[in-house]
Amino acid sequence: GEALYTVMDRCCGPDLVDVAAGGALPPSSVRALGRQMLLALAAVHGVGLMHRDVKPENFRFRDAAAQTLQLLDFGFAKPAGSQPARHTVTGTLLYAAPEVFDGLYC
């Protein structure tokens, strides 16, 4: 029979909460992190998905060298354009966009 496998990278580095706990970062580091975050989201959207739980804890470095940031936890991900259940808010409320609460997202 057929078998279905899920393959994931092992990410052992800090997440963005850990990084922030270490104190202020220089502007160049913040720009580099922001760029990696945006590229990750663009890649997700590029394959037709909405992550729906973007938060600092879901961005983690691949290893302790803290060079490559990865977006994790696709448990709430849905195909872009799919209709959510009415009056249902998913993800972490603290990081949800205002339009999520107004029902103006897809």
Q: Are 13 and 64 in contact (CB under 8 A)?
A: yes
Q: Are 95 and 62 in contact (CB under 8 A)?
A: no
Biggest CA–CA distance in the chain, Å, is 54
102 is catalytic: no
Place of tokens 């940031």: 69
Query: For residues 86-95, b (16+ Cβ closer than 10 Å) or e, as one string?
Result: eeeebbbeee
Q: Which of 9, 15, 18, 53 is catalytic?
A: 53
What residue type is assigned to position 106 of the chain?
C
Active site residues: 53
